[in-house]
Amino acid sequence: MHVARERQHNPLGLSRRSLLGGAAATAGAVTLAGTAAGPAAAASTRTVDVAIVGGGLAGLTAARDLVAAGRTVAVLEARDRVGGRVVNLPLANGGVTEGGGEFIGPTQDRIKALADSLGVATFTTYNTGKNLLYKDGKKTPYATDGILGSVPPIDAAGLANAAIVQASLDDMAKQIPLDAPWTAAKAAEWDKQTFESWLNANAIVPSAKFLLDVACTSIFSAQPRELSLLFVLFYIAAAGNESNVGTLERLTDTANGAQESRFVGGSQQVPIKLAAALGDRVVLSAPVRSIVRSGSGYVVTADGITVKARKVVVAVPPPLAARITYDPLLPAARDQLSQRLPMGSIGKAIAVYDSPFWRADGLNGQVVSDSGVVRSTFDNSPPDASYGALMGFIEADEMREYDAAGVDEVKAAVLKDYATYFGEKAKSPTSFVLQRWDNEGFSRGGPVAYAPPGVLTEYGAALREPVGGIHWAGTETSTHWNGFMDGAVRSGERVAKEVLAAL
């Protein structure tokens, strides 16, 4: 267990007890959370129309829509909090920062509509001043935006090459049918190679390859060698709404991109408020162990509670859905899909200072680096800049290197990088929080499950295909903003419609 998890923020004061019905609240499930399936002594039982596995944005959104349609639901959440990969972390100074998904940008319409409906406001990510390129041991500030923004200070050949590569990727992405990438005319060709193989043939100038590598690890928390080219193209194309196909630049940019804005009070405000409205329909500390068909419905067994339901929504990432016992067994296509979509490797490190001192140096806090444990940073200070916060992503190879390290070791490595980028002051934060998703039992990586070569073409059709009365949600099932909070919300809305039509 790591530091951050021990003190997760809960600004509305929701407790397990306050979200639970009386019977479940006494089942003692809290003591079982994250541990073994024990004998379910004194387990409570509920009977509802729809059991929802997972209290992240997808599951909670599905619950909201089903309840609005007059259906009864129970949301079974494994953790002692809602939000899944979206979590607020309290800071020693009384502030709050985010350990998971935090940004919102243009065309992310559904998370925006949800946040609006709950009264959660947004503010613009700090983006004034220059970015910093750290490469070959040299710092170069530059006036641009995003990893692949207009003029990063690399050689002209690299810039030209990167521009061509970016345009090629966007052009190929336009050929991807978002609801069935495996039907693209060139799907077989694109799914038989790693993104690395394609980059090796196309990003031939080293500085261009560097930019693409950083973009890749920043987006997927996986190295280019781990990803199918087809999956990368799908993910790019999905970075938009129904009337606006995605681009690589929209994925990587701050202004006009996926990192454009943040949520006042922290992104977890959205799932927390959504859960509060659902009241005791949400059961915390209830990891689901089995989904068993019973007559025309299902019995869903979690630690401390059993739910009988006509339909089930599984709204957790595919590799975790595979860890539930299904009876009858899932079809081979669905099971083997879930064996083939691993989670990326990601952590976030937030260092807090009395002030965002880098701003005085004309820097916006955004770094792109070729070395260190943190190679991409953001200014995570609050809107009023009453204190400073540097947030750094630890991704893919770097995260794996530090997965088993102690917090102090990670902290030392991170602060060394921050000092390299922003000066000695960065070595003395007033506090430091670390969120390591690889070590979270109910995530085991992040931000999203990705597809290696050959998976989408052979198994993609099983992503959303219901199995009897079991329906699938989660950002990994979304055709827009797959992997993002917006995709999670969209998947919840889609699955609710699907279930309502089937009920």
Cα angle 49-466-491, degrees, rounded to a multiple of 5: 80
Is residue 407 involved in binding a copy of itself (CB under 8 A)? no
Is residue 308 involved in binding a copy of itself (CB under 8 A)? no
Is residue 156 involved in binding a copy of itself (CB under 8 A)? no
Among 418, 425, 356, 381, which residue's Cα sits nearest to residue 96?
Answer: 381
Q: Nearest approach, Cβ of 197 to a copy of itself (angstroms)?
A: 5
In which element (H, E) is residue 326 found? strand 325-327
Q: Nearest approach, Cβ of 324 to a copy of itself (angstroms)?
A: 8
Alpha-carbon distance of 68 to 8, in angstroms, equals 30
Q: Nearest approach, Cβ of 119 to a copy of itself (angstroms)?
A: 36
Is residue 431 involved in binding a copy of itself (CB under 8 A)? no
Out of 122, 252, 345, 364, the residue judged to bind a copy of itself by CB under 8 A: 345
Using the minimum distance from each CB to a copy of itself, give the nearer residue, 257 or 453: 453
Using the minimum distance from each CB to a copy of itself, give the nearer residue, 194 or 369: 194
| Helical segments of 389-480, H only | 397-402, 407-422, 455-459
What is the x/- site pattern for a copy of itself, positions 188-227, by CB under 8 A? ---xxxx-xx--x---------------------xxxxx-
Is residue 42 involved in binding a copy of itself (CB under 8 A)? no
Distances (CA, A) of 111 to 63, 115, 303: 15, 6, 30
The residue written with tokens 């530059």 in the block is 142
Give the other-Cβ count within 10 Å of 454's Cβ: 15
Is residue 297 involved in binding a copy of itself (CB under 8 A)? no
Among 226, 217, 156, which residue's Cα sits nearest to residue 195?
Answer: 226
Handedness of CA 174, 177, 180, 182 (dihedral sign): negative
Among 339, 393, 394, 282, which residue's Cα sits nearest to residue 56?
Answer: 282
Is residue 54 involved in binding a copy of itself (CB under 8 A)? no
Using an 8 Å Cβ cutoff, are 421 and 377 in contact?
Answer: yes
Q: Nearest approach, Cβ of 330 to a copy of itself (angstroms)?
A: 9
User: Pairing between strand 103-104 and 325-327?
Assistant: unpaired
Q: Nearest approach, Cβ of 95 to a copy of itself (angstroms)?
A: 28
Under DSSP, the state recorded for 85 is T
CB within 8 Å of 19: residues ≥ 6 apart: 275, 279, 280, 282, 283, 284
Out of 139, 276, 397, 497, the residue judged to bind a copy of itself by CB under 8 A: 397
Out of 8, 47, 72, 290, the residue judged to bind a copy of itself by CB under 8 A: 290
Is residue 370 involved in binding a copy of itself (CB under 8 A)? no
Is residue 323 involved in binding a copy of itself (CB under 8 A)? yes
Q: Which of residues 451-480 bind a copy of itself (CB under 8 A)?
A: 452-455, 458-459
Using the minimum distance from each CB to a copy of itself, give the nearer residue, 98 or 226: 226
Using an 8 Å Cβ cutoff, are 404 and 367 in contact?
Answer: no
Q: Nearest approach, Cβ of 40 to a copy of itself (angstroms)?
A: 6
Piece of the chain touching a copy of itself by CB under 8 A; list 146-154, 161-169, 185-193, 495-503: 185-193
Q: Which of residues 67-106 bind a copy of itself (CB under 8 A)?
A: none
Backbone angles phi, psi at 469, to 5 degrees: -95, 15
SS3 302: strand
SS3 440: coil
How many residues in the shown chain lie near a copy of itself by CB under 8 A? 56
Out of 370, 403, 419, 500, the residue judged to bind a copy of itself by CB under 8 A: 403
Alpha-carbon distance of 230 to 250, in angstroms, equals 18
What is the x/- site pattern for a copy of itself, positions 2-21, by CB under 8 A? --------------------
Out of 31, 35, 45, 150, the residue judged to bind a copy of itself by CB under 8 A: 35
Out of 322, 368, 413, 496, the residue judged to bind a copy of itself by CB under 8 A: 322
Q: Cα 42 to the chain's mean position, in Å?
A: 35
Out of 23, 333, 419, 500, the residue judged to bind a copy of itself by CB under 8 A: 333
Alpha-carbon distance of 221 to 235, in angstroms, equals 13
Alpha-carbon distance of 344 to 396, in angstroms, equals 7
- Give me the residues that bind a copy of itself (CB under 8 A), please: 34-37, 39-40, 191-194, 196-197, 200, 222-226, 289-292, 299, 301, 319, 322-323, 325, 327, 329, 331-333, 335-336, 339-340, 342-343, 345, 397, 400, 403-404, 436, 438-439, 441, 444-445, 452-455, 458-459
